[in-house]
Amino acid sequence: MNVRRLSWNHFRNLRAGEFEPCAGVNVIYGQNAQGKTNLLEAMWLFTGERSFRGAKDAELVLQGETAAALRMDFWSEGRGQTAKITVAEGRRTAELNGIPKGACSALTGKFCAVVFSPEHLSLVRGGPSLRREFVDSALCQMKPGYASLLSGYNRTLFQRNALLKDIPRHAELMDTLEIWDERLSQFGERVIRQRTAYLKALSEPAAGFYAGISSNRETLSFVYRKSAEDLRRALAEERREDVLSGHTGAGPHRDDVDIFVSGLNARAYASQGQKRSVVLALKLAEAELLSRMTGEKPVVFLDDVMSELDARRQDYLLNHLTEFQVFLSCCEPGAARQMKSGALFRMEDGALSAVPPA
């Protein structure tokens, strides 16, 4: 799977234009606020997902204009395909191979990619909810049925919490908690099984990518940490505490993933470069699992990835991800001089230009 051509008009600050990337590593460099991330974001939208920056659709249109247009020619499912996205009146609509598709979510599965952005460093630095979200998002992309399972769990959790808040005023409702405990534990145990299975599958490629990034000097491992070993028993034993707090204290919504670099907790002890390397390894491992499932290598977007990485780690990203088409943005072209093959582009004031080989 790869991008063959991208064109744009009135998208963010980008001047109308197009470019044809190579099938390997594509480095886009330029100073801050020139449009590098906007370019990666434009391609990412063809996955059918929302902006990885959390932007609203209305923010994707160049100020002073009423609509933005994107077109991408790409190779997927053994053939060349063309998709178009129009952003107007605060919403995105899509067209695939000349057929209107309505909402952009219809493109899901046609063009697959993974993305790293500096915001993803919170996966290591931040709280448990961010690590749960990483696992859940990956599972939703790989297994469409997981989204329904997770939704069922969250609905049941919401209903149980509402009941917990009502019990102090209506003591007779206490007897109904057992019903909700049973439902919640059934959903919860299935969610936990899916998460632990995914992390088990992720561990081998993640460890391999991290070993490559660190030149085999460090190791990466992680463990799924449950809030309760026996969820059904924990819900029963903690009912009184849950009623007092008005919240459910045990379940997948309280679980976490502990990440270790060379045996030490990454959140507490890893350097900034190591934390960046951990997230990169997890994202690349996510891409590897996607390729095993679909039979095609997803495109990899690495936004502002080179800072805080030493020369060895930069070299790995530039020269050893040969199985993927990679789009990598950075501020200075100096690091790109390590690149042995690939394409170099300069972004300045929203205009993209190819840089001839030195």
Residue 58 assigned as binding residue = no
Helices and strands (H and E) in the chain: how many: 10, 15
Is 78 assigned a ligand-binding role in the annotation? no
Q: Which two tokens stand for residue 23?
A: 């099938």
DSSP assignment of 235-284, as one string? Answer: HHHTHHHHHHHTS--SSGGG-EEEEEETTEEHHHH--HHHHHHHHHHHHH
Q: Is 31 annotated as a binding residue?
A: yes
Closest CA to 124 of 134, 112, 113: 134
For residue 86, say whether it is annotated as part of any ligand binding site. no
d(CA 332, CA 313): 16
Q: What are the DSSP calls for 318-335, one per residue?
A: HHS-TTS-EEEEES-STG
Residue 309's nearest CA partner among 318, 301, 300 is 318
Q: Under DSSP, is residue 89 helix (H, G, I), strand (E, B) or coil?
A: coil
Best CA proximity match to 49, nearest among 5, 3, 107, 118: 107
Dig out the tokens for 185 from the structure. 């534990």
33 annotated among ligand-binding-site residues = yes
Task: For residue 34, say whether it is annotated as part of any ligand binding site.
Answer: yes
Residues making up the binding site for ATP: 30-37
Residues making up the binding site: 30-37
